[in-house]
Structure 1
Amino acid sequence: MLKELLNVAIKASLEAGDEIMKIYNRDYAVDYKKDQSPLTEADIASNQVINSYLEQTNIPIISEENKQLDYSERKKWSRCWIVDPLDGTKEFIKKNDEFTVNIALVENGITVLGVIFAPALKELYYTDATKFNAYKLHVENSEQYEDKLFHEQDKLIPSPDNKDLVNIVASRSHIDDTTLNFINTLKSKYDTVNIVSKGSSLKFCLVANGKADIYPRFAPTMEWDTAAGQAICEAVGLQVIDMTTNKKMFYNRQNLLNNHFLVTKND
């Protein structure tokens, strides 16, 4: 069953990515929500595609672009999809290619599978149905990919431990004083501290793929920003820790706004 749901999520992400790219490569209008975050045609088009796939599973959906149900209703759900149809809208508007489609399945608050597709980069990141492995696939054709999934050479492998060097991934749009202070504390522990910048949920993918060692996040994020990335990181043995509770992040909470968190290796 989970394998079938994973395949639905992958198909949805790829088709949504196709719709996003049609808009990316032409002129489009930018609106703003009440919180002043940007909204484009691509956000809406991607959401429509993803909903058309996920609704067929009869599993409820939490999406950034859907109307949010009250927690009194959501708390009854044992499982749900958590979706960001276009993560990194600011990156999309800047045309730097670092935006993604995020789809995760959650059971009793825990991520069980995740898919991240970066359509401009043609990079698909995904867990297997057991969340014991995660993979990266370059997708040239969104309709011809199934025989290319789950190949050993595509497995994501975190970086090995290095006591002399640490690579920190930080947001292009959201680096702040708290993050800089965190970086400075690491400089007292390592000979070399490198900062790797990336937009959207690709920051999770950098750590999962061994391109960075740690991702501290001290700026606001929502559940749909992180669920798919957390699934991918956990599938390769990393942990995503809520800095308020000091436990791994759980989902479909009463408040969909995340606390600050840290992506790192297990102790």
Structure 2
Amino acid sequence: MKLNKQAILDITRDAGKAILKVYQKADFSDVVSYKDDNSPLTLADEAAHKVIVSKLSELYPDIPIISEEGKDIDYNVRKDYDMFWLVDPLDGTKEFINRNGEFTVNIALIDNGKPVAGFIYTPVLDTYYYGIKGESAYKITKGEEESISVNNKDKERVAVRSKSHASPEEEDVLEKYNAVDSISVGSSLKFCMVAEGKADIYYRHGPTMEWDTAAGQAILEAAGGVVLKNTGPEPFTYNKENLLNSSFLGLGF
């Protein structure tokens, strides 16, 4: 399947514009509500979801979409999806609410349970990352596109860690892989840091959802890395009956 990469990047940008209209409000008190699991939901999530679903459906009418804000598709229906889009309209809602700018728009293409293309856009930084299986991974900053790849370091590695979900279980994993330093960043940008060689290891202990990880995994793997279930060696796959992820390990070597 030939992807219209520019059109998909434009969709992430348009979703980012919808998010920024809410982000630039002086007061968030009228836009923050809570889901059943008490994670924050904003008008920005909903606005970005509408943009992405509308434009992706127009561009690829025969490919179904699973989105965080439209996830209630019965497993008996979606289990037959050989290929589908997996979307997180606003990844890093806590970063959004805390106004640190480290939130993203994520779009991934899943083929037979594996992410084969990923597109991530950071609206505040106006920066894109994307990767396609069998091709390469790229970063676009101020209109300039560059190819990115993992470090493949064998020592003195750097770990990237969550600002919102740090865990003590990380320490054993990072010691095992000779991490001597760490950086902290929000949302799916952690995958991107490994993909572009600014970090080497990303371990997440505890639950995420499939739409949180798919685009980042596609980009990291296109850049030469790997994402494993728990601490390996089983690969990380998608469209499970329960869309909750296990722990996972992203490596840039």
TM-score range, shorter chain: over 0.9
> For the structure 1 residues 131 and 121, does the alpha-carbon distance in structure 2 shift closer, same or farther, using more than 3 Å as the test?
farther
Q: Do residues 81 (structure 1) and 73 (structure 2) align?
A: no
CA contact (8 A) 1:241 1:248 kept: yes
Query: C-alpha offsets along residues 45-71 of structure 1, whole Å, 9 cap, x if unaligned?
Result: 000000111112121111100042111
Matches within 5 A, 1:58-207: 58=61, 59-128=63-132, 130-139=133-142, 151=145, 154-163=146-155, 165-183=156-174, 185-186=175-176, 190=178, 193-207=180-194
Moved more, 214-223 or 240-249: 240-249
Q: Where has structure 1 moved over 3 Å in runs of 4 or more?
A: none
Structure 1 residue matching 2:238: 3-state secondary structure? coil
Structure-2 change in CA distance of 1:68 and 1:246 (3 Å): farther
Mapped partners of 2:238, 2:228: distance in 1? 13
* Aligned 8 A contact 2:92 2:187 in 1: yes
Q: Matches of 2:168 and 2:20 in 1, distance apart?
A: 34
Report what 1:16 is aligned to: 15
Q: Secondary structure at the match of 2:250?
A: strand
Deviation string for 1:213-267 (max 9, x for gaps)?
Answer: 110110211000000000001101100001277322111111111111100145x
What is the aligned counterpart of 2:42 among 40, 43, 63?
A: 40
User: How many residue pairs get matched?
Assistant: 248
Identity of aligned residues (%): 47
Q: 1:115 to 1:124 in 2, by over 3 A?
A: same
Q: Which residue does 2:211 correspond to in 1? A: 224
Backbone CA RMSD of aligned residues: 1.7
Q: Is the Cα–Cα contact under 8 Å of residues 231 and 249 in structure 2 kept in the other structure?
A: no
In structure 2, distance between residues paired with 1:264 and 1:243 = 12
Q: List gaps (5 residues or longer) in structure 2.
A: none
1:179-211, Cα deviation, whole Å (9 max, x unpaired)? 13333x34xx74x71111010000000000000
**1:3 equivalenced with 2:7 (yes/no):** no
Question: Counterparts of 2:71 and 2:224 in 1: how far apart (Å)?
Answer: 34
Q: Secondary structure at the match of 1:257?
A: coil
Q: Report the CA distance shift for 1:253/1:8 in structure 2 as closer, same or farther (over 3 A).
A: farther
Residue 3 of structure 1 deviates from its aligned partner by: 2.3
Among candidates 243, 246, 252, match of residue 256 of structure 1:
243
2:127 touches 2:139 (CA, 8 Å); kept in 1? yes
Preserved CA contact (<8 Å) 2:119 2:215: yes
Q: How many Å separate the matches in 1 of 2:218 and 2:101? A: 23
Alpha-carbon distance between aligned partners in 1 of 2:6 and 2:242, rounded to the nearest angstrom: 29
Q: Normalized against structure 2, the TM-score is what? A: 0.92
Q: TM-score under structure 1 normalisation?
A: 0.88
Q: Structure 1 residues 252, 8: closer, same or farther in 2, change over 3 A? A: farther
1:131–1:231: 8 Å Cα contact kept in structure 2?
A: no
| 3-state DSSP of counterpart to 1:3 | coil
Question: Are the structure 2 counterparts of residues 254 and 159 from structure 1 closer, same or farther at C-alpha, using a change threshold of 3 Å?
Answer: same
| Partner deviation per Cα, 1:59-103 (whole Å, 9 max, x = no partner) | 111110004211111111110000000000000000000000000
